Amino acid sequence: MATLSVIIPVFNERGSIGPLLVELEAALDRVARPSEIVVVDDGSTDGTAEALERHRLGSRRLRVLRLRRNFGQTSALAAGFQAARGDVFVTMDGDGQNDPADIAGLLADLEQGYDLVSGWRRHRADSFLYRRLPSQAANRVLAEITGLQLHDFGCTLKAYRASFIRRVTLYADMHRFIPGLAAAVGARVGEREVAHHPRREGHSKYGLGRTYKLLTDMVVLRMLVRFAGQPLHYFGLLSIGTFGLALALTFLAFVDTTSVRLVNYSTVVMPSVAVLAFCLSFFFLMMGLMCELALRTTRPRDVGYAPMARHEEWRT
Amino acid sequence: MKGGVDVTCVLALTDDCPELEDIVRQYSAELAERRLSFEFVLVLDGLGEARTARLKSRLPAGAPVRLLHFNQSFGEERALTAGYREARGRFVVSLPSYMQLDPGDVHPVLDALDQDYDLVAGWRVPRVDPWINRLQSWAYNRVMSALTGVQLHDLNCGLTGLRRAVIDEVLVEGNVSRFLPVLAHRRGFRVGEVRVRHLRERGRRGFFGIGVYVRRLLDVVALMFLTRFTTKPLRFFGVAGGLLVLAGLALCGYLLLDYAYGWSLQTNPSNRASLLIGVAAINLGVMVFSMGLVAEIIIFTNARNVRDYTVERELPPGLPPEDEARREAPGSEETEEVEGPGRRGGA
């Protein structure tokens, strides 16, 4: 039977983490498999560490990892994945909004052959304007970019096959994109409805200020999902496109000089835009080559973009 | 650790160091007084055979000294970095290469390291330099404090004490050993400062020269980039490039509208410099943006090596695993390690 690691990143959740751990231990007692809980204390300053310590001393499952300062949720998750020892990982929020009772369902889905099962907070208990609306917009865009039909990319309650998540490179706010990156390497991604409770205590650590970060991150994700293994194709397409534009503009510039009305316009405007396009075209090509250079000098086992393959023993 | 000692003293030697013997003797005496085992790592920054021989002749007999030779000069900072890497001690102390400070001041540094600090920087106070040097140094440190958000008074002090973990987890190659306190602070290490007595200063008086400032400035730029955008280059390149493109588009758009509606006297875009500027801005913006994409790909492919967090401690469950659980999963919960090497003790 596969062993289970539940990974919980927490930051200043003194009031919520205690009740959550009690519920979680009860839920894990019901799940008939060996399990551990890895709580990653992401540099909390409000006494969360003491609350965790009280639980740890009375627990057979709870391991506590403390980071040196607050590094953010992605780093906390990465540290948790690194430290966890199970064959199957479940991640959940430390604020008690996820329900430990949902874990059994996620595990059942993993048994069906999924590599990643993402929770879907269908009935979210958050403010509509500040949390649900921006989240819905982000989910639409992410679904479009990654080609994954998920409703809720941001839900922390997810179940992973350990062998798979250890291959995904996780850094700098990428946790939201795990499903997308997973799909990019050909993992099987599923979704399951989960419960969502209002916050017990404390306040949310998210706000609208992260929008611009999300935007640049999405540009990166789109590029990585489709072209991480072949960057020359990405930049090459851009290069060919701009080169075509440049040729067309040059042609127009020559044609237009013979016409009467636009003679003055075309001698400067058309050529300068054409020069712009020519420059960019060559530039893109060089960029693509540079990426290939960076990529081809990396050992394959160090990169996260190699396609996943499922192994099957064939017996006749 | 094999051949491990308590303290490694690292010196970067860029010249003859006439006082080397005194330095080694006096600091040895101070460390021996604390009953610590120690070693010296001297990095010879491309000194050549004659000077190397002279240096060796000045070393006290029997002192625990290891020498690191650069075949050519790479500068004090790279030499110090190499010395840090070579260090075997639990604690590492960098020392100035001449009698700039009172050797007795190594004690407050080690005391601070004993009390839970991970990195301790010296702060030379009062300075014995001429006022013009003091002013420059003060301004430099103020600017750096403001830029990096780490309140330190004396980034250039030759005396710094640190734990091994700082070297293992923070040190990167390049001209940044001077900024180690800043990098360590960013990674969540506890950084402190102790006052040390400044005995004398060697080196030039007056202004340091334009070259020094330019190089310092470039180092600062590199540092800012290193600390803020290592893992997310597009957040830097993307915003810069995006703003450039927007500015260029706005300029060209204005020209187009002006051409269409005839707001100003000169409406023909061909005769206007703004067109070239606008086009150039778009061009540059797109280039900067795609530089960011390239940087992202490089980071992504190397992300396994970009671990941007540091673990302070790891604690196992308080109770032993149940017997049933142990029978079901042999070995799964038995290999608890309380603390890995180099990690600090628990609560």
DSSP of B62-122: T--EEEEEESS---HHHHHHHHHHH--SSEEEE--SSS-B-GGGHHHHHHHHHTT-SEEEE
CB-based contact A216 B235, cutoff 8 Å: yes
CB-based contact A61 B300, cutoff 8 Å: no
The answer, yes or no, to whether residue B342 has pLDDT greater than 60, is: no
CB-based contact A302 B304, cutoff 8 Å: yes
Q: What is the pLDDT of residue B337?
A: 40
Confidence of residue B207 (pLDDT cuts 50, 70, 90): low
The answer, yes or no, to whether residue B119 has pLDDT greater than 90, is: yes
The answer, yes or no, to whether residue A262 has pLDDT greater than 60, is: no
Most confident of A267-271, B39-43, B263-267: B39-43
Q: Looking at the structure, tell me whether residues A212 and A87 fall in a common domain.
A: yes
Nearest by CB to B294, from A170, A219, A291: name it: A291
Q: Looking at the structure, tell me whether residues A141 and A10 fall in a common domain.
A: yes
CA distance A51 to B276: 63
Q: What mean pLDDT comes out for the span A268-279?
A: 80
Q: What is the pLDDT of residue B126?
A: 83
CB-based contact A76 B328, cutoff 8 Å: no
Q: What is the pLDDT of residue A208?
A: 56
> Cα–chain-centroid distance for residue B347?
29
Q: Please report residues of A whose CB lies closer than 8 A to that of B298.
A: 291, 294
The answer, yes or no, to whether residue B260 has pLDDT greater than 70, is: yes
Q: Looking at the structure, tell me whether residues B175 and B258 fall in a common domain.
A: no
Percent of chain A clearing pLDDT 70 (strictly above): 84
Interface contact B116, partner A, CB < 8 A: no
Q: What mean pLDDT comes out for the span B152-165?
A: 88
Q: What mean pLDDT comes out for the span A77-93?
A: 88
Q: Looking at the structure, tell me whether residues A198 and A210 fall in a common domain.
A: yes
Confidence of residue B29 (pLDDT cuts 50, 70, 90): very high
Q: What mean pLDDT comes out for the span B331-342?
A: 39
The alpha carbon torsion through B316, B319, B323, B326 (nearest 10 deg) reads -10
The answer, yes or no, to whether residue A209 has pLDDT greater than 80, is: no
Q: Looking at the structure, tell me whether residues A33 and A157 fall in a common domain.
A: yes
Q: What is the pLDDT of residue B9?
A: 93
Higher pLDDT, B333 or B209: B209
Q: Looking at the structure, tell me whether residues A74 and A205 fall in a common domain.
A: yes
User: B77 near B175, Cβ under 8 Å?
Assistant: yes
User: A222 near A184, Cβ under 8 Å?
Assistant: no
Q: What mean pLDDT comes out for the span B171-190?
A: 81
Angle of helix B233-261 relative to helix B273-301, nearest 10 degrees? 160
Side-chain half-sphere exposure of B96, counting CA atoms within 13 A: 24
DSSP summary character for residue A197? P
Q: Looking at the structure, tell me whether residues B158 and B260 fall in a common domain.
A: no
> Cα–chain-centroid distance for residue B313?
23
Residue B325 lies in a domain: no
Residue A309 lies in a domain: no
Q: Looking at the structure, tell me whether residues A53 and A171 fall in a common domain.
A: yes
Return the sign of the alpha-carbon dihedral for residues B121, B122, B126, B128: negative
Interface contact B315, partner A, CB < 8 A: yes
Query: What's the pLDDT tens digit per position in A25-83?
Result: 888 888 878 888 899 988 888 888 888 888 888 888 888 889 888 888 888 888 888 88
Confidence of residue A189 (pLDDT cuts 50, 70, 90): confident
Q: What is the pLDDT of residue B138?
A: 87
Q: How many domains does chain B have?
A: 2
- Nearest-CA neighbor of A98 among A117, A78, A116, A124? A124
Percent of chain B clearing pLDDT 90 (strictly above): 18
Q: Looking at the structure, tell me whether residues B224 and B239 fall in a common domain.
A: no
The answer, yes or no, to whether residue A261 has pLDDT greater than 70, is: no
CA distance A140 to A150: 9
AA identity, residue A80: G
CATH of the domain at A171: 3.90.550.10
- For chain B, positions 258-287, list CB contacts with chain A under 8 A: 268-271, 275-276, 279-280, 282-283, 286-287
Return the H-helix or E-strand segment holding A307: none
Q: Looking at the structure, tell me whether residues A183 and A277 fall in a common domain.
A: no
Confidence of residue B335 (pLDDT cuts 50, 70, 90): very low
Q: Looking at the structure, tell me whether residues A93 and A168 fall in a common domain.
A: yes
Determine phi and psi for B223, rounding to 5 degrees.
Answer: -65, -45
Residue B323 lies in a domain: no
Q: What mean pLDDT comes out for the span B237-246?
A: 90
Looking only at the bridges linking them, the beta strands covering B160-163 and B119-124 are: antiparallel
CB-based contact A268 B275, cutoff 8 Å: yes
The answer, yes or no, to whether residue B210 has pLDDT greater than 80, is: no
Q: Please report residues of A whose CB lies closer than 8 A to that of B302.
A: 298, 302
Q: Looking at the structure, tell me whether residues B187 and B143 fall in a common domain.
A: yes
User: A150 near A115, Cβ under 8 Å?
Assistant: no
Q: What is the pLDDT of residue B267?
A: 62
- Lowest-confidence range among A152-161, A173-182, B90-99? A173-182
> Cα–chain-centroid distance for residue B158?
14
Confidence of residue B244 (pLDDT cuts 50, 70, 90): very high
User: B167 near B118, Cβ under 8 Å?
Assistant: no
Confidence of residue B248 (pLDDT cuts 50, 70, 90): very high
Q: What is the pLDDT of residue B322?
A: 65
Q: What is the pLDDT of residue B331?
A: 45
Interface contact A279, partner B, CB < 8 A: yes
Q: What is the pLDDT of residue B94?
A: 93
CA distance A188 to A179: 9
Q: Looking at the structure, tell me whether residues B117 and B32 fall in a common domain.
A: yes
pTM for this prediction: 0.72
CA distance B18 to B54: 9
The answer, yes or no, to whether residue B76 has pLDDT greater than 80, is: yes
Higher pLDDT, B308 or B115: B115
Residue B54 lies in a domain: yes
Confidence of residue B109 (pLDDT cuts 50, 70, 90): very high
Residue B338 lies in a domain: no
- Lowest-confidence range among B203-207, B213-217, B276-280? B203-207
Tell me the β-bridge partners of A193: A120
Higher pLDDT, B296 or A202: B296
The answer, yes or no, to whether residue B64 has pLDDT greater than 60, is: yes
pLDDT mean across residues, chain B: 80
Q: What is the pLDDT of residue B304?
A: 63
Q: How many domains does chain A have?
A: 2
Higher pLDDT, A136 or A214: A136
Q: Looking at the structure, tell me whether residues A261 and A164 fall in a common domain.
A: no
Q: What mean pLDDT comes out for the span B297-320?
A: 76
Range of the domain at B197: 7-228
Q: What is the pLDDT of residue B341?
A: 36
The answer, yes or no, to whether residue B112 has pLDDT greater than 70, is: yes
Q: Please report residues of B whose CB lies closer than 8 A to that of A68.
A: 187-189, 309-312
Q: Looking at the structure, tell me whether residues B62 and B98 fall in a common domain.
A: yes
Q: Establish whether the linkage from the previous residue to B126 is cis, with ω within 30° of 0.
A: yes
Q: Looking at the structure, tell me whether residues B28 and B48 fall in a common domain.
A: yes
Nearest by CB to A171, from B298, B306, B318: name it: B306
- B210-224 as b/e: b if 16+ CB within 10 A: eeeeeebeebbeebe
Higher pLDDT, B314 or B304: B314
Quick one: closest CA in A to B240, which residue?
Answer: A216
Q: What is the pLDDT of residue B220?
A: 77
CB-based contact B298 A3, cutoff 8 Å: no
Tell me whether residue A133 is exposed, middle or buried, using C-beta atoms within 10 angstroms of its C-beta: 0 to 12, 13 to 18, 19 or more: exposed
- Lowest-confidence range among A88-92, B25-29, B97-101? B97-101
- Lowest-confidence range among A5-9, A207-211, B55-59, B105-109? A207-211
Q: Looking at the structure, tell me whether residues B287 and B202 fall in a common domain.
A: no
Q: Looking at the structure, tell me whether residues A251 and A161 fall in a common domain.
A: no
Residue A253 lies in a domain: yes
Residue B346 lies in a domain: no
Higher pLDDT, B289 or B215: B289
The answer, yes or no, to whether residue A193 has pLDDT greater than 70, is: yes
Percent of chain A clearing pLDDT 90 (strictly above): 5
Q: Looking at the structure, tell me whether residues B186 and B124 fall in a common domain.
A: yes
Range of the domain at A252: 231-298
Q: How many CB atoms lie within 10 A of CB A12?
A: 21
Q: Looking at the structure, tell me whether residues B108 and B131 fall in a common domain.
A: yes
CA distance B347 to B341: 16
User: A150 near A120, Cβ under 8 Å?
Assistant: yes
